[in-house]
């Protein structure tokens, strides 16, 4: 999809649709930023059909003929509401614009930036671009539409009008990098498990290294055996598809810059192993790699944006978890990368096993200043927080605050849950250093407590996205299915450096 900035008079635009964003005034009618549309918009307001409420839409067709006010066929007005306009307000407005547009035959749009909403033009352009691009996302790779009436609309070109082009282009560049990274993560998650395997993570990493100047290292099964990544190997035992661990490195070129380690769970399909999940809904377990997809997508964004001030390492341990003849069994004991032994009480608590190896390996190898892992780890987080907030747990208050701020900025809110030695007692094993799960009490916290054993003293944050990676809070710019939550949070975190 093409997206650019223009300073040409909107009245001269000859594409398919012009989009306006207006505030809802305390009294009177919303102000129309394009004089040629003011009369038609005023008529809609007088009729009571449009007030500019947040998310409200008005679609009309400018009258042609001599003295035609516009060169476009359609006009769409999006309300921003009467409250303070924030980044998320603009994202939602951009998403609403795309939802309305794709119900028509319009493919080329001009969006007039609302530059009088109390935010810098850069922020307006960035946020609106995110909403427009994210809202235009579709995944129809495996569908064939033969009936024109059933063929979904698609947007091919978006132009942002601004009187301050330099700031708008900078904002657009930032918003585009973030939104396109989220597209990539959604694409990965939407792929069926037979078309997205551990080898595909490795291939994506290698391709990314070539195209965007990153360093990629792929550890296969022989390397894992040599290194002692036994948690990842153990979970893989039931599958005929080999595991991979893909390591991507971005170097900013600044001496003494801190290093941030990102680790994403890459379970390309999770049946639960011997501790088999119920059959209903199991098809959604292809989404169990959304954390890994988020990390890969962030590394793509960094390769294109080239931020200064921080080095970033992304690690994605990947495997399937299946009940094959050699599968891991409840009661088995596994020695993980850092030497700790784990009694496997439940093979469906597999994500923490592969993350533990990746975390311990990443901390020992790269000696990062901070670590963030992201994973669809526990169903318990859905019980606690629903599908509205990501669970956050941490061993460092400053890093936790930094990630929470990044999450709010991205419109992907998180909620911090506690950690403490009293929870660690629940993972005490009679035959090993710890067990991988206890009874259901405090399930999300216990998942994090387990992972904490593998980050040493490094400042660390764990993001549990099991409730937000799909079936997320309904938003105009997030479709049904995978949300790509975490991509823009992690990118905002990196940018904060």
Q: Is 304 a catalytic residue?
A: no
Within 10 angstroms of residue 162's Cβ, the number of other Cβ atoms is: 21
Query: For residue 4, what are the contacts with CB-CB under 8 A and spacing of at least 6?
Result: 158, 159, 160, 172
List 352, 389, 435, 488, catalytic entry: 352
Helices 165-190 & 290-305 angle (0-180, nearest 10): 150
Instruction: Please report which residue ranges of 153-269 form alpha helices under DSSP H.
Output: 165-190, 198-212, 221-227, 230-236
Which element (helix H / strand E) includes 315? strand 311-321
**CB of 133 within 8 A of CB of 183?**
yes
Which element (helix H / strand E) includes 394? strand 390-394
List 86, 170, 206, 277, catalytic entry: 277
Q: Which two tokens stand for residue 7?
A: 């300073």
Report which DSSP code applies to 83.
Answer: S
Query: For residue 121, what are the contacts with CB-CB under 8 A and spacing of at least 6?
Result: 113, 115, 162, 164, 167, 168, 171
Q: Is 352 a catalytic residue?
A: yes
Name the β-bridge partners of 111.
19, 160
Name the β-bridge partners of 2.
157
**CB of 62 within 8 A of CB of 73?**
yes
Task: Report the DSSP pairing between strands 74-79 and 215-219.
Answer: unpaired
* Number of Cα atoms under 13 Å in the Cβ half of residue 463: 34
CA-based angle 166:111:155, to the nearest 5? 115
3-state SS, residue 323? coil
CA end-to-end distance (rounded Å), the chain: 30
3-state SS, residue 193? coil
Report which DSSP code applies to 473.
Answer: -
Within 10 angstroms of residue 400's Cβ, the number of other Cβ atoms is: 19
Which residue is associated with the tokens 């040409």? 8
Report which DSSP code applies to 426.
Answer: G
d(CA 360, CA 48): 61
Which element (helix H / strand E) includes 295? helix 290-305
Report which DSSP code applies to 30.
Answer: P
- Residues with a catalytic annotation lie at 277, 352
């Amino acid at each position: 999809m093409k997206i650019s900035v223009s300073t040409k008079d909107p009245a001269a635009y000859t594409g398919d649709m012009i989009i306006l964003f207006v505030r809802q005034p305390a009294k009177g009618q919303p102000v129309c930023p394009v004089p040629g549309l003011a009369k038609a918009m005023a008529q809609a307001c007088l009729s009571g059909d449009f007030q500019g409420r947040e998310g409200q839409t008005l679609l009309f067709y400018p009258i042609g003929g001599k003295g035609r006010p516009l060169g476009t066929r359609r006009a769409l007005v999006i309300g921003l509401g009467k409250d303070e306009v924030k980044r998320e307000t603009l994202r939602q407005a951009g998403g609403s614009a795309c939802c309305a547009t794709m119900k028509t035959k319009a493919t080329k749009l001009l969006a007039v930036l609302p530059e009088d909403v109390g935010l810098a033009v850069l922020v307006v352009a960035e946020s609106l671009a995110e909403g427009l691009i994210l809202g235009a996302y579709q995944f129809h790779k495996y569908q064939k539409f033969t009936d024109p009436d059933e063929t979904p609309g698609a947007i091919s070109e978006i132009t942002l009008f601004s009187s301050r082009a330099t700031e708008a282009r900078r904002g657009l560049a930032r918003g585009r990098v973030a939104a396109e990274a989220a597209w990539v993560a959604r694409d990965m998650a939407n792929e069926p498990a037979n078309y997205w395997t551990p080898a595909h993570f490795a291939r994506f990493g290698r391709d990314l290294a070539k195209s965007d100047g990153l360093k990629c290292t792929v550890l296969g099964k022989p390397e894992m055996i040599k290194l002692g990544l036994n948690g990842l190997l153990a979970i893989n035992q039931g599958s005929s598809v080999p595991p991979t661990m893909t390591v991507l490195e971005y170097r900013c070129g600044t001496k003494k810059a801190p290093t941030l380690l990102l680790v994403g769970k890459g379970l390309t399909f999770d049946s639960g192993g011997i501790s088999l999940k119920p059959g209903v809904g199991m098809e959604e377990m292809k989404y169990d790699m959304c954390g890994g997809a988020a990390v890969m997508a962030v590394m793509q964004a960094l390769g294109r944006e080239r931020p200064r001030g921080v080095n970033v390492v992304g690690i994605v341990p990947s495997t399937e978890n299946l009940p094959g003849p050699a599968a891991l069994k409840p009661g088995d004991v596994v020695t993980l990368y850092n030497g700790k032994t784990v009694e496997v009480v439940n093979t469906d608590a597999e994500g923490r096993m592969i993350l533990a190896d990746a975390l311990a390996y990443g901390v020992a190898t790269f000696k990062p200043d901070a670590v963030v892992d992201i994973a669809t780890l526990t169903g318990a987080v859905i019980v606690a927080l629903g599908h509205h907030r990501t669970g956050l747990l941490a061993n460092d208050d400053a890093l936790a605050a930094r990630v929470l701020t990044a999450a709010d900025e991205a419109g992907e809110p998180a909620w911090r849950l506690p950690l403490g030695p009293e929870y660690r007692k629940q993972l005490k094993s009679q035959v090993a250093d710890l067990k991988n799960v206890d009874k259901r009490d405090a399930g999300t916290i216990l998942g994090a407590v387990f992972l904490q054993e593998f980050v040493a003293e490094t400042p660390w944050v764990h993001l549990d996205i099991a409730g937000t990676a799909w079936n997320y809070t309904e938003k105009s710019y997030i479709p049904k299915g995978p949300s790509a939550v975490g991509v823009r949070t992690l990118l905002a975190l990196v940018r904060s450096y």
